[in-house]
Chains A and B, each alone.
Chain A
Amino acid sequence: MVSSAVVNTYPLSSYTFGAKEPKMEKDTSVADRLARMKVNYMKEGMRTSVEGVLLVQEHNHPHILLLQIGNTFCKLPGGRLKPGENEIEGLKRKLSSKLAANSPGLEPDWQIGECVATWWRPNFETIMYPYCPPHITKPKECKKLFIVHLSEKEYFAVPKNLKLLAVPLFELYDNVQRYGPVISTIPQQLSRFQFNMIQS
């Protein structure tokens, strides 16, 4: 009935990081992104996106892996589902697209855990809420965050135009200005898990 889910986290040093060809953003500005979202909404209805929370440990504190574009903007690995695509399969596809080497043999066997948060976008604007606001019958996007259980050794290939960062939970907490509402509130959503910090 009541169980604290346990998440194994391994040191950053137990993972190997390589580079692969750049993966450019499809939109050059926020306005472009919202315009493209509108076009897609007309064709396919509400967008469902999935993102992965990948955890490692450093100095006995959990760190989340974030992709940094340019010098400031950070995002979680993930993206939009194709119409009718299953959430878990879609997340595996996106994780491999952003973080796995291109040869099929080197692709990690992604272990997708439970959903830790859901965010809703009521209009074609940047604001999102962790509930569907009252009086909104046609939300434009639903974004789901899933915890991803990493195994002890993985090889990640990061697109050349992105940087992969391991950010400690204490840096994210209450830091809406730097990371936005979705990423800065991940520490609260992870607070019920017990982290098993495994040393190398």
Chain B
Amino acid sequence: MVGKNCFAIASDRRLGVQLQTIATDFQRIYKVHDRLFLGLSGLATDAQTLYQRLVFRHKLYQLREERDMKPETFANLVSAILYEKRFGPYFCQPVIAGLGDEDKPFICTMDSIGAKELAKDFVVAGTASESLYGACESMFKEGMEPEELFETVSQALLSSVDRDCLSGWGGHVYVV
């Protein structure tokens, strides 16, 4: 979700195999660099593989260009990598959130074959995405400060995952 010169990205903490919960401390949001975070929902193995590939590409970029990747560029990279596997896809939906030039927040999400969905206010992904859309839509306000943004994001996340049996067991929220 986007605030005033800041963004928040949140996820639940459950790792499950169909109905069985394996762990309640699974990390789904990864830091790519200080101003760019990536959340990967969906199949855990593909999320881990995809994260490793993306970090690899980003590190190469950093070595070549001697600077961090802009969020828009990174989103295009993710989209390209996902579409490479068009006929044997990675079964995960990324959520990308970052601060671009002049601290302008950038968020986007994608489906598992890389179709980008840009938004100005919030993006959601995962099994509870429908209820997340509803909760975010009703709780979102323009230009929230970081503290208020944190509250809003947490409440939206908790109320949506409470209605979904495959999500839950707490949440991680990152505010930048």
Determine if chain A interacts with chain B. Answer: no
Chain A contacts to B: CB under 8 angstroms: none
Chain B contacts to A: CB under 8 angstroms: none
